Structure 1
Amino acid sequence: MYVCLCKAVSDKAIKQHIANGACTMRELKAGLGVGSQCGKCVCQASAILHNELVKQPREIDNLAKPAA
């Protein structure tokens, strides 16, 4: 599904960019151009970003666990 029609960016492309390390809308804009034209895609792209980041394990979680 296309999220950004202006730059022809799909949800798959956004998810791949996040998997490669992007963790802010600024990084998505710089890498893919999301939100750099009309801005109508920002809400959807932001939701995808949030959902993908929630799925990722965080290093801080590992620090909080007691050593085995």
Structure 2
Amino acid sequence: MIVCICRRVSDRDIQHAVREGIASFDVLQDETGVASHCGACHDCAHEVFEEARAAAHGGCAGACHAGTKVISIATAFAT
């Protein structure tokens, strides 16, 4: 489905961008132009973005991981 008519950005475009590593709606807007012209699609685009993020993270949009620090197992057991 076309989410942003002005910039011709579809839900698939947004999903693809998330799979490619875009983790911020602001960056998505910079990269695709979605919701950056008239703004009528902003809420829909943001919703599609969050759903794509959740799907990419196995059902989690990533907010539950905010502030976590990833360390290797070797580092964890070295202390």
TM-score band w.r.t. shorter chain: 0.7 to 0.9
Look up the match of 1:51: 51
CA shift digits 1:24-63 (9 cap, x unpaired): 11111110001110001111111111112122336x59x6
Greater RCO, CA 8 A, separation 6+: 1
- Where 1:36 maps in the other structure, the secondary structure is coil
Say which one has the larger Rg. Answer: 2
Look up the match of 2:16: 16
TM score, norm. by length of structure 2: 0.68
RMSD value, Cα? 1.8
Unaligned runs of 5+ in 1: 64-68
Unaligned runs of 5+ in 2: 71-79
Look up the match of 1:34: 34
How many residue pairs get aligned? The number is: 61
Preserved contact between residue 25 and residue 46 of structure 2 (Cα < 8 Å): yes
Matched, 1:5 2:5: yes
